[in-house]
Structure 1
Amino acid sequence: MPRLALPFLDSVGETDEHGPEKGSLVRPWKAYWPPEAGSELHAMLEQNVPEVLTWRFNPKDPFDRPWQSWTKSAILSGKVCTSTVLQPAVNGGVCETPTAQEERAASEEVRQRNSKLLDAQITNLHLPHSTPKQFNYLSGDPLYLTTKPYHTRLPFMGKIRRSNIIAQGYSGVNIYDLRNHEKEFTLDRSGFQYCHIPVPIAQWTNETAKNQYLPLMETWLKEFFGATRVHIFTYTFRCENRDRTSTESWVGPYMRAHCDVTLNSGIRRLNLHLPEEAEKIMKGRWRMVGLWRALTGPYQDRPLALLDHRSLAAHDLLGADVVFPHYCDEGYEVRYSPLHRWFYKSRMMPDEALLFKLYDSSPEEVRFCPHGAFVDPSGPEGTPQRASVELRAIVIG
Structure 2
Amino acid sequence: MAINDDIEETARTCRANLNYLLPGPDINRRFVSAGVEVSTGTYGPFPTTIRDGRTIREHFSFDQHAFRLLEAPTSIDNFHDTTEVESHYQAEVCAHVKTALGADLVLSQGWMLRTSGAIPKSTNPDTTDEKKPYRHYGGLQPAAGEVHIDTEPSRQPAYAQKLYERARPDGPGFKRFIMTSFWRTFSPGPQDCPLAVCDARSVGGDEGTPNVLWVVDRIPEGEEMFEDMDDGGQLAAAVFRHNPEHRWWYFSSMTRDEALLFKFHDSDRSVGWRVPHSAFWDASFEDSNVRESIECRTIAFFE
TM bin, normalised by shorter chain, reads: 0.7 to 0.9
Return the alpha-carbon distance in structure 2 between the equivalents of residues 138 and 366 of structure 1: 23
Deviation of 1:273 after TM superposition, in Å, equals 4.1
Gaps of 5+ in 2: 125-137, 217-229
Contact conserved, 1:264 with 1:330, CA < 8 A, in 2? no
Structure-2 residue corresponding to 1:96: none
Q: TM-score, normalised by structure 2?
A: 0.80
Match of 2:129 in 1: none
Give 1:148's aligned residue: 27
The residue aligned with 1:203 is 78
Gaps of 5+ in 1: 1-110, 156-160
User: Would you say the 8 A contact 1:176–1:343 is kept in 2?
Assistant: yes
State the 1:320 CA deviation: 1.7
CA gap 1:154/1:384 in 2 versus in 1, 3 angstroms? closer
Higher fraction of helix: 1
Map 1:23-102 to 2 at 5 A. none
Match of 1:252 among 138, 142, 148: 142
Change (3 A) 1:244 1:350: farther
SS in 2 for 1:219: helix
Query: Partner amino acid for 1:264?
Result: S
Encode CA deviations 1:218-244: one digit per residue, 9 max, x unaligned: 222223333221110110011132239
**Deviation of 1:365 (Å):** 2.3
- Aligned with 2:90 (options 214, 220, 240): 214
Residues 300 and 386, structure 1, Cα contact 8 Å, conserved in 2 = yes
Relative distance call for 1:317 and 1:281 in structure 2 (3 A) is: farther
- 2:67 is aligned to 192
Contact kept? 1:270, 1:278, Cα under 8 Å: no
1:233-274 deviations in Å (ceiling 9; x for gaps): 110011132239979731000011111112222224325645
1:233 aligns with 2:123: no
Q: Note the 1:350-369 alignment, pairs <5 A.
A: 350-369=256-275
Q: What residue number does 2:119 align with?
A: 242
Partner residue in 2 for 1:347: 253
Q: Report whether the alignment pairs 1:177 with 2:35.
A: no
Query: For the pair shown, which has the larger CA radius of gyration, 1 or 2?
Result: 1
Q: If each structure's strand is expressed as a fraction of its own residues, which one has the higher value? A: 2
Shift of 1:206: 1.4
**Equivalent-residue separation in structure 1 for 2:255 and 2:265 (angstroms):** 27
- Which letter maps to 2:95? T
State which of 128, 144, 149 in structure 1 corresponds to 2:12.
Answer: 128
What residue number does 1:44 align with? none
The whole-number CA distance in structure 2 between the counterparts of 1:385 and 1:272 is 38
Q: Distance in 1 between matches of 2:52 and 2:214?
A: 35
Superposed displacement of residue 384, structure 1: 2.6
Native 8 Å contact 2:160 2:177 kept in 1: no
Question: Aligned residue pairs: how many?
Answer: 269
| Amino acid in the other structure paired with 1:299 | P
**TM superposition score normalised by structure 1:** 0.62
Superposition pairs for residues 248-287 of structure 1, below 5 Å?
Answer: 249-270=139-160, 273-274=163-164, 276=166, 283-287=174-178
In the other structure, the counterpart of 1:290 is 181
Taking a change above 3 Å as real, the CA distance of residues 277 and 209 of structure 1, as seen in their structure-2 partners, is closer
RMSD over aligned Cα atoms: 2.7
Describe the superposition over 1:364-389 as per-residue Cα deviations: whole angstroms up to 9, x where unpaired.
222211100000001213x3310000
| Superposition deviation, residue 393 in structure 1 | 0.6
- Could you tell me whether the CA contact under 8 Å between 2:24 and 2:41 is conserved in 1? no
Contact 2:93 2:296 in 1 (8 A): no
Give 1:217 deviation, angstroms.
1.7
Number of the residue aligned with 1:304: 195
Contact 1:135/1:256 (<8 A) preserved: yes
Query: Is the 1:195–1:354 Cα contact (8 Å) retained in structure 2?
Result: yes
User: For the structure 1 residues 226 and 340, does the alpha-carbon distance in structure 2 shift closer, same or farther, using more than 3 Å as the test?
Assistant: closer
Quickly say closer, same or farther: Cα 1:271–1:337, change in 2 above 3 A: same
Of 284, 289, 294, the match for 1:389: 294
Pair 294,281 (structure 1): closer, same or farther in 2 beyond 3 Å: farther
